[in-house]
Amino acid sequence: MSDRQLITGSDAIAELVPASVAYDNHVVPLRILADTLIVASAEPLTTETQQRLHFILNRNVRGVIRSAEWIAIKLHELYDHQPESDDADTGVTWYWPNWYWYDGDQLNVKCSGWEGMSHWTGCHEFPPDHADYDMWRWIVLVPQYHRLVDEKEVPGIRRIWHRYVARCRPTWFCRKGPSGTP
């Protein structure tokens, strides 16, 4: 199997590594081998980079070497855009979907981030009338999202959620009545 087949044939692998993490660390996710994510980089992964990726992705990471040009092409193919580069420090927010709790009907998801030189931690509240309430109830139950989720990933996850709902909706209607009508 060629490297191209391993990468472009596996959207699930790309979803394990947020675009911002892949671009910031100049790594391309290739495959999962046993419990280890194999990533390509132009230079050997430093211990610091390997530890950072392990922390963010919540899995072991091993690197293989590819050319810088190959990395740039594959990042573009996988994530379909170049990250915006602005000089302003806008900060970053991560959601922790495996750390959640309910307050009555309200879903609370742990989140943390950096703004400037300050780190913060807290939770995002999703009351039942929140537009993303059902989506986040799904996210906290899906094992592939039991890792840090960069806020920049949420629009892509929302698209996946909408496809999932569209695919499952007929099943929901069929369960309501014998003739398939609600």
Judgement on whether residues 98 and 26 belong to the same structural domain of the protein:
no
What CATH number is attached to the domain comprising 66?
A: 3.30.300.160
Looking at the fold, whether 58 and 119 belong to one and the same domain comes out as: no
Query: Among 48, 79, 110, where does a domain finish?
Result: 79
| 79-86 LR contacts (CB < 8 Å, sep 24+) | 79/14, 79/19, 79/22, 79/23, 81/19, 82/23, 83/19, 83/20, 83/23
- Compute the 3-state secondary structure of the chain and give helix, strand, coil in percent, each to the nearest 5: 45, 30, 30
What pLDDT, on the 0 to 100 scale, is given for residue 90?
Answer: 67
Domain C-terminal end among 15, 48, 79 = 79
Helix (H) or strand (E) holding 53: helix 47-57
Tell whether 166 is covered by a domain. Answer: yes
* Alpha carbons 46 and 52: distance in angstroms, whole number: 10
In a domain, 84, yes or no: no
Q: CB of 78 within 8 A of CB of 97?
A: no
Predicted local confidence at residue 11, as pLDDT:
64
Same domain, 74 and 126: no
Coil/strand/helix, residue 181: coil
Q: If you search the block for the tokens 């959620």, which residue do you land on?
A: 161
Residue 87 lies in a domain: no
Looking at the fold, whether 120 and 58 belong to one and the same domain comes out as: no
Can you tell me the distance from the alpha carbon of 34 to that of 41, in angstroms, rounded to the nearest whole number?
20
- 11 with 53, same domain: the answer is yes
CA distance linking residue 126 with residue 31, whole number of Å: 34
Task: Decide if 161 is inside a domain.
Answer: yes
- At 135 the pLDDT is 92
- Looking at residue 171, its pLDDT comes to 52
- How many CB atoms sit inside 10 A of residue 18's CB? 22
pLDDT of residue 83: 46
pLDDT in 10s for each residue of the chain, 182 residues: 433 333 333 566 777 888 888 888 889 998 888 888 899 998 999 888 888 888 888 889 999 999 888 888 888 888 865 445 454 556 788 899 989 999 899 999 999 888 777 788 888 999 999 989 999 999 999 888 888 888 888 888 888 888 888 887 655 443 333 443 33
- Give the structural domain span for 15: 3-79
Contact 95, 109 (CB under 8 A): yes
Per-residue pLDDT, 107: 93
Does 119 share its domain with 53? no
* Count of domains forming the chain: 2
